[in-house]
């Protein structure tokens, strides 16, 4: 903070000095230094010219210093395979534009100084030079072409079809939180969902006429395996949301009525990140980046990236939705009931009584809706 206040005061101090100087020069002008009455040029002209030069110098120092100062916090460690590639591309592009930034601004601010009004000077009548124009049309075009082409290849790779072995995880945004659903330990397939089936218990609207739903489990936090492609299937229930995994460089909107997806390979576990950042409390986050209302800024969940074995172990510990809510057996069509019952009997023998009860009396189950 002190540094920043220091910088700010330096900048404004410089401004103040310039203004004082200018007004002194002005008052001198009034006292009798001859001024061309026809000319619209006043004695502040030189001060303004110098001002641009001062701005160039102080501005360059400020830009460089502030960049170096905040560099450690810019683009936090990339924790996905494609993130490393886009980060590298970012810094290359940044190099190109930084070069252009300094060159053009330097010219823009030194020319006013060099060619400030002087009595008797005649400006050059220089209306056109086709060769120059061709040069500065072609050079940006070529540079752009190179940047676009590499960008396009990366984009194509990132948005390509997810590999078949990808772990499928469903994220559903709602005001104001995220539901995470896993495809379960048995069939690796997410079951259907239908927004009309949503209620307080079945907050995802899982459709139990689809057998793939039986082993699906939900969680309040997201676990991802390291080094394995992960395919996020993204939904929204009410308004637009956007999945943002800042460290994994993942962002994709969640749109009601239109499923979206994004696949990537996480390449650093939470533990590794804790080691790299030196912060034992480090945790990956999933934030929302599409304005969705009052709680938008707080719509975050914690993300854990585990070693594949740990991930598998964690998955095994999770209980399918059906196991936790055996009443939903009632929604399962007759011919699939035997399959569904497996999840209830195997995982929760204690609950089997109530399951059979609810299975036997569908009326009781419907009243739960």
Partner 1 sequence: MATETLHAIDTHAHSHDEHEHHELGFVQKYIFSEDHKTIAKQYLISGIIWAFFGGAMSIIFRLQLGFPNMDLTWLKPVLGQWIVEGKLEKEFYLALVTMHGTIMVFFVLTAGLSGTFSNFLIPLQIGARDMASGFINMLSYWFFFVASVIMFASLFIETGPASGGWVIYPPLSALPQAMPGSGLGMTLWLSSMALFIVSQLMGGINYICTIINLRTRGMSFTKLPLTIWAFFFTAILGLLSFPVLLSAALLLIFDRSFGTSFYLSEIYIGGEALPNVGGSAILYQHLFWFLGHPEVYIVLLPALGITSEIIATNSRKPIFGYRAMIGSLMGITLLAFIVWAHHMFVTGMNPFLGSVFMFLTLIIAVPSAVKAFNYITTLWRGNIIFTPAMLFSIGLVSLFISGGLTGIILGNSALDINLHDTYFVVAHFHLVMGAASFFGLMAGVYHWFPKMFGRIMNKTAGYVHFWFTFVGVYCVFFPMHYIGLAGFPRRYYSFTALGNGRMEAFVDMNMFISIAAIITFTAQAIFTVNFIYSIFKGKRAPQNPWSSNTLEWTTPVVPGHGNWEGEIPAVYRWPYDYSKPGSTTDFIPQNVPYSATLESNFPEENEEIAKEKEIEGLLDIQNSSYNH
- Using CB under 8 A as the binding rule, whether residue 275 contacts partner 1 is answered as no
Among 35, 133, 319, 366, binds partner 1 (CB under 8 A): 133
Angstrom distance (rounded) from CA 199 to CA 135: 64
Question: Peptide bond preceding 176: is omega within 30 degrees of 0, i.e. cis?
Answer: yes
- Using CB under 8 A as the binding rule, whether residue 68 contacts partner 1 is answered as no
Angstrom distance (rounded) from CA 91 to CA 76: 13
CB of residue 98 to partner 1, shortest distance in Å: 8
- Beta strand pairing call for 167-174 and 230-236: parallel
- Which residues fall within 8 angstroms of residue 283, CB to CB, at 6 or more apart? 270, 302, 303, 304
Angstrom distance (rounded) from CA 234 to CA 253: 8
CB of residue 215 to partner 1, shortest distance in Å: 24
Task: State the burial class of residue 324 (Cβ atoms within 10 Å of its Cβ: 0-12, 13-18, 19+).
Answer: middle
Residue ranges in 190-249 that form contacts with partner 1 under rule CB under 8 A: 195-196, 198, 205, 234, 237-240, 242, 244, 246, 249
Name the strand (E) or helix (H) holding 170.
strand 167-174
Residue ranges in 310-339 that form contacts with partner 1 under rule CB under 8 A: none
Residue with tokens 């930084």: 98
Among the candidate windows 1-9, 216-224, 344-352, 359-367, which touches partner 1 by CB under 8 A? 1-9
Nearer to partner 1, 117 or 188 (CB): 117
- Using CB under 8 A as the binding rule, whether residue 8 contacts partner 1 is answered as yes
Nearer to partner 1, 284 or 343 (CB): 284
Among 21, 175, 185, 352, binds partner 1 (CB under 8 A): 175
Starting at the earlier edge strand, list the strands of the sheet with 301-306.
222-225, 301-306, 284-288, 241-245, 250-254
Among 35, 137, 361, 366, binds partner 1 (CB under 8 A): 137
Q: Are 230 and 266 in contact (CB under 8 A)?
A: yes
Angstrom distance (rounded) from CA 320 to CA 22: 76
Nearer to partner 1, 237 or 358 (CB): 237
Nearer to partner 1, 23 or 361 (CB): 23
Max CA pair span of the chain? 108
- Using CB under 8 A as the binding rule, whether residue 93 contacts partner 1 is answered as yes
Question: How many CA atoms lie less than 13 Å away from 3 in the CB half-sphere?
Answer: 6
Q: Mask 95-124, x = binds partner 1 (CB under 8 A)?
A: -xx--xx--xx-xxx-xx--xxxx--xxxx
Nearer to partner 1, 278 or 349 (CB): 278
Nearer to partner 1, 294 or 316 (CB): 294
Question: How many CA atoms lie less than 13 Å away from 360 in the CB half-sphere?
Answer: 6
| Chain centroid to CA 143 | 26
CB of residue 83 to partner 1, shortest distance in Å: 8
Nearer to partner 1, 86 or 185 (CB): 86
* Cα 218 to Cα 167, 177, 224, 242, 318, distances in angstroms: 15, 13, 14, 19, 8
Name the strand (E) or helix (H) holding 31.
helix 2-31
Among 53, 84, 219, 252, binds partner 1 (CB under 8 A): 252
- Using CB under 8 A as the binding rule, whether residue 368 contacts partner 1 is answered as no
Among 141, 312, 346, 368, binds partner 1 (CB under 8 A): 141
Nearer to partner 1, 287 or 352 (CB): 287
Among 10, 17, 57, 132, binds partner 1 (CB under 8 A): 132
Among 167, 250, 315, 340, binds partner 1 (CB under 8 A): 250
CB of residue 152 to partner 1, shortest distance in Å: 5
Nearer to partner 1, 159 or 209 (CB): 159
């Amino acid at each position: 903070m002190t540094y920043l206040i220091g910088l700010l005061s330096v900048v404004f101090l410089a401004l103040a000095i310039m203004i004082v100087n200018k007004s002194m020069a002005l008052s001198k002008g009034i006292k009798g230094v001859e001024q061309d009455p026809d000319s619209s040029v006043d004695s502040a002209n030189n001060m303004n010219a110098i001002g641009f030069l001062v701005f160039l110098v102080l501005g360059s120092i400020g830009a460089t210093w502030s960049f170096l100062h905040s560099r450690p916090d810019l683009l936090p460690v990339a924790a996905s395979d494609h993130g490393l590639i886009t980060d590298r591309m970012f810094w290359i592009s940044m190099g190109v534009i930084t070069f252009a930034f300094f060159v053009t601004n330097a010219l823009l601010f030194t020319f006013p100084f060099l060619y400030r009004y002087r009595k008797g000077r005649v400006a050059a009548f220089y209306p056109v030079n086709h060769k120059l124009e061709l040069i500065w049309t072609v050079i940006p075009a070529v540079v752009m072409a190179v940047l676009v082409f590499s960008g396009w290849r990366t984009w194509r790779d990132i948005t390509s079809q997810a590999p078949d072995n990808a772990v499928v995880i469903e994220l559903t945004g709602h005001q104001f939180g995220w539901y995470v659903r896993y495809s379960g330990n048995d069939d690796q397939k997410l079951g259907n969902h239908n927004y009309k089936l949503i209620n307080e218990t079945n907050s995802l609207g899982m459709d139990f006429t689809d057998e793939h739903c039986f082993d699906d489990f939900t969680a309040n936090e997201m676990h991802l395996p390291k080094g394995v492609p992960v395919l996020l299937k993204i939904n929204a229930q009410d308004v637009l949301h956007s999945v943002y995994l800042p460290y994994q460089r993942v962002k994709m909107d969640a749109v009601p009525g239109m499923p979206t997806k994004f696949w990537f390979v996480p390449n650093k576990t939470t533990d590794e990140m804790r080691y790299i950042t030196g912060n034992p409390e480090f945790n990956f986050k999933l934030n929302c980046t599409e304005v969705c209302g009052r709680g938008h800024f707080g719509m975050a969940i914690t993300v854990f990236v585990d070693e594949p074995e740990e991930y598998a172990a964690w998955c095994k510990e999770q209980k399918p939705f059906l196991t936790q809510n055996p009443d939903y057996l009632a929604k399962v069509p007759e011919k699939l009931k035997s399959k569904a019952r497996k999840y209830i009997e195997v995982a929760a023998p204690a609950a089997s009584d109530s399951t059979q009860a609810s299975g036997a009396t569908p009326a009781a189950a419907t009243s739960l809706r």
